[in-house]
């Protein structure tokens, strides 16, 4: 199944920290932040694992504000919080951890 163009582009925008492009993509009428790539990752996973820590934090914050689901686990069982931790992005990790703590966690575990 072919993904809509906006959704395939959003992974790259998040991964490379293109804040302006990511903001436009999030505001697009057909934007779906819950679309998974072939490994079960969302744009939030890509943002959390990006190269630059500051841009990772800004992209993660933008995606969360746009309604990205922080609970999604990829094929390896990792959430965006786990990806931020692996990448060493402490501030992005703190933003995602705050999302976990403010969410409904009765039946969920931190990654």
DSSP string computed for 10-37: HHHHHHHT-HHHHHHHHHSTT--TT---
Compute the Cα dihedral for 111, 12, 61, 38 and give only its sign.
Answer: negative
C-alpha to C-alpha distance for 80 and 45, rounded to whole angstroms: 4
pTM: 0.84
- At 3, is the pLDDT very low, low, confident or very high (cuts 50, 70, 90)? very low
**pLDDT confidence of residue 31:** 83
- Rg of the Cα trace of the chain? 13
- At 30, is the pLDDT very low, low, confident or very high (cuts 50, 70, 90)? confident
Q: Is 6 exposed, middle or buried (0-12, 13-18, 19+ CB in 10 A)?
A: middle
């Amino acid at each position: 199944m072919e993904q809509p163009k906006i959704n395939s582009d959003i992974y790259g925008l998040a991964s490379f920290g293109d804040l302006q492009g990511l903001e436009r993509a999030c505001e697009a009428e057909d934007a779906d932040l819950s679309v998974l790539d072939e490994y079960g990752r969302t744009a939030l996973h890509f943002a959390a694992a990006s190269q630059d820590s500051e841009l990772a934090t800004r992209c993660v914050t933008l995606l969360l504000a746009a309604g990205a689901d922080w609970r999604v686990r990829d094929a390896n069982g990792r959430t965006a919080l786990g990806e931020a931790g692996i990448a060493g992005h402490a501030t992005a990790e703190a933003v995602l951890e705050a999302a976990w703590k403010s969410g409904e966690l009765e039946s969920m575990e931190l990654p």
